[in-house]
Structure formats: structure tokens, C-alpha cells
Structure 1
Amino acid sequence: MPPVRIAPSILSADFSKLGEEVRAIDAAGADWIHVDVMDNHFVPNLTIGPMVVKALRPHSQKPFDVHLMVQPADALVEAFAEAGADILSVHPESGPHLHRTLMRIRALGKQAGVVLNPATPLSALDHVMDLIDLVLVMSVNPGFGGQSFIESALPKIEAIRKRIDASGKSIELEVDGGVDAGNAGRLAAAGATMLVAGTASFRGGPDRYAANIAALKAA
């Protein structure tokens, strides 16, 4: 299993200087830049739209990993793709037709992901494994940063790892929610390949970013 990689969530960055923050976290060793899009409808909280992603795109060459916590997702997929997203992940519940949404993302030349909330069963993946490049396991209920890790995510990650391995496909297994240096090692051991870390990456300001990411990768 390759070393786990880190996708810092800019939800925890200083929004008054997002461009600088993206450049700093990129230089600090981020593998991807994770963008949490919330609509205050599908999830509580309201974050950023395609215009912000477009404005941030020149600040990093790293993949932009855009998590769409919006309902319906289809109406925004094209806008975020045009703004510079590389990966677009959607929730089965954001519907109405997951298969069609994933087909649309791929038709736009982007990687497609499916997000599983804590209560979303693995069966949501049953008929779309051939369309996805990523499975994102939420280890908190989506909507806010800084929440505590839900332990029941670990066996879920292990089960998804077995499913990915059995498929023979190269699919990223990403985990988001309460990720820190204290549990990063367990998540990697369970089969995660990419960890979304907001608070743990951005804690302490730019002078700490490299050490924060190194600690996550070394855990």
C-alpha cells in the first residue's frame, strides 16, 4: 500500500486571504487541495461557489478535489468543472440520479467520486463502481469543520477497501472528518489512500503547515 496522502480542506483556512493560504498549504506538502462546497440546504452551512474556485485555480497546480454538498448537484457540476475542479464528488442522496450525475462529471473530462455519509450504506456503490475514481468516506456528519471523528467509520473503510481491491480498479479511498495525527495511522491501515484534514493542516498558521502535514503523513 502506498503512503497515505493529504488533501487539506480550505474550509479551515483564513478566508480573508485564501489565495495566500492555498499557495502556503501547497508549498507545505499538500497532495491535493480539498474544497468543501456547502449550500445550507443539503447540509448546514454555506461556503463557496464556482467563482471562488476559479479565482483560486491560478494559485496551485495541485489537483482541486471538490466535494459537492449540494442538492441537486447536477446544476452545479458543469460550473465547478469549468472553474478548475479536477475531481468532483457527490452524495447519492443529493440525487435524483447518481449514475447520470457521475456520467456527466466524466463527460466533462473530470474524475468522479461518490461520498458516503456516516449512515449511507455501502450498497450505494453497487452499480456505479465502473464510473468512479474515488470513494469519500465521511467520518463526521457533513456541514462543519472541527468535528470529532466517528469511530464506526473504520470498519466501513476496511469494507470499502476490500470492495475496491476486488474490483481490480484504481480507486482512491478518501476519508474526511476529524482526521488528525492521532488517527491518521489507523485510517491508512484500514485502507485509506487520501486523508482530508482541515483543522489539523491549518492549525497554527503558515509557519506550522509543513510540520502539520508531515505529522499526518508520518502517523
Structure 2
Amino acid sequence: MTIKMAASLMCGDMLAIGDELGRLAKSKCDLLHLDVMDGMFVDNMALFPEWIERIKEQTTIPFDIHLATMVPERYLEMFIKLKPEYLSFHIETTINPMRLINIIREAGIKPSIAINPETPLERIEPYVEYIDMVLLMTVNTGFAGQSFKEETLDKLKELNKLIRKTTNKPLIEVDGNIHNDTIEKMRGFLPDVFVLGTSALFHDKDNLTYEERIEAIRNRVHELHSFNEGFA
């Protein structure tokens, strides 16, 4: 059973990034989730390659880079050189997904496909056997602090069914207002990787450390897995 917690750095304090990275190093998060936005695919811009390169100099936490960009082919080379563990591109943004998958894998990086809440799963079905992860957005891509889209629960359930039919078994990652309450709604079809942002990690609602917040969510996910296995 794979359970990974990815901290969404875009939701952290960008003016105290060194302090944030120090706290995240102690938190035992598994990945740093980095959203790259070009202002065209979404109405926002975020996390340029030069900035991410500086982040890499200050941490050993593996990167999970999400390209929320048009024509991701333009950006592959500059982000491949950063050697993330995962590199996601949106199925909605390219006419040749297999070419991108092959380029990413040949660079020694795990390819991942991202899909927006309204994107039909049929769009990614031909490629699921060839990737290591599917990133399911549970909010509209582009801005932190949005409400969880309940309709993505059905998509998550169907995605689980689709992956069970494959030999490759890519991980499922969810991103968008992920916290204990929304994770509870995923009971029975839990994903593998949870992107934690403002609602779960980067807030001041309690006096807990990042480590304590992540551990609480990790423990709850384990409990839900155990519950599922008990009724399997």
C-alpha cells in the first residue's frame, strides 16, 4: 500500500521560503508539489524554473512538478533538468501525449498525466498503461482556497476501476482542498498521493506543527485503508 503526502509549496509563505522548507523537512512529507502556471492554460502564473532551481538547492525532498501550461513541450527541457520524481502534464494541452510520456521517462523521471474535474476519463485511457501516476484535480486548476468539487468523487471511483484493469497500476494523486473531511468522502476508493495545501497544512487554525498535521492525515488514511480491507 502506497500512501504519499505532497506539500503544495504554492500555498506556503513565499516570503519565508527558507523557513517553510525547514519545517517541511521535519514534517516527513514525501514530496514537494510544485505548480507551474503560464497564465494561459489557467488565469494565474506561478513557480518559474529559476525559482524552483533555487528551491532544489535548499531541500532534499523529492519534487512533484505539475505543468498547468499550454503546449507543455515548450517547458519539458527546463523542468526535466531539475530531476523531479514526477512530472505531470495536462491531457487537455497536447496533441501527442505519448511523445511527452516517452521524453519524460527517457530522462529518468516518472511521467504523470493531470486531468481537470470536467475532463472525461476516456481522454487518458489509452495512456494509463504507460504512466506512473494520474493527477486528478478536485478543484479547477489555478488558485488555492477553492471549494472541493463533489462531482470528482465519481471520477475518482471510476479512475480506481480503470486502473485496476491495467497491468501497470499507476498511482492516483488528488489535488484541491484535500483535508480529513474531504478524504473521508473517498472512503472505499482512496487515492495514493494527497496534495496538502491551505486547508490541511499551510494555515494557523491550530498550534500543531506541519509534522503533526501530516501525521494526523496519514494516520487517518491508514485507518480508512484498514476499514476497506476489513470489508473486502
Match of 1:176 in 2: 175
SS of equivalent residue, structure 2 residue 45: coil
TM-score normalised to structure 1 length: 0.93
In structure 2, the CA distance between the partners of 1:10 and 1:161, relative to structure 1 (3 Å rule), is same
Match of 2:202 in 1: 202
Structure 1: gaps spanning 5 or more residues: none
Is 1:57–1:84's contact at 8 Å kept on the other side of the alignment?
no
Structure 2: gaps spanning 5 or more residues: 221-232
Question: Residues of 2 paired with 1:89 and 1:25: CA distance?
Answer: 22
Question: Residues of 2 paired with 1:37 and 1:20: CA distance?
Answer: 21
SS of equivalent residue, structure 1 residue 59: coil
SS of equivalent residue, structure 1 residue 187: coil
Is 2:138–2:152's contact at 8 Å kept on the other side of the alignment?
yes
Amino acid at match of 1:93: E
Q: How does 1:98-109 map to 2 (within 5 A)?
A: 98-109=97-108
**RMSD of Structure 2 on Structure 1 (CA):** 1.8
How far is 1:27 from its partner?
1.3
Match of 1:149 in 2: 148
Is 2:132–2:170's contact at 8 Å kept on the other side of the alignment?
yes
Is 2:129–2:170's contact at 8 Å kept on the other side of the alignment?
no
**Larger Rg: 1 or 2?**
2
Match of 1:82 in 2: 81
In structure 2, the CA distance between the partners of 1:19 and 1:170, relative to structure 1 (3 Å rule), is farther
Identity %: 30
How far is 1:206 from its partner?
9.3
SS of equivalent residue, structure 2 residue 23: helix
Match of 2:225 in 1: none
SS of equivalent residue, structure 2 residue 181: coil
The count of aligned residue pairs is 218
Match of 1:163 in 2: 162
How far is 1:149 from its partner?
0.5
Question: Residues of 1 paired with 2:18 and 2:111: CA distance?
Answer: 25
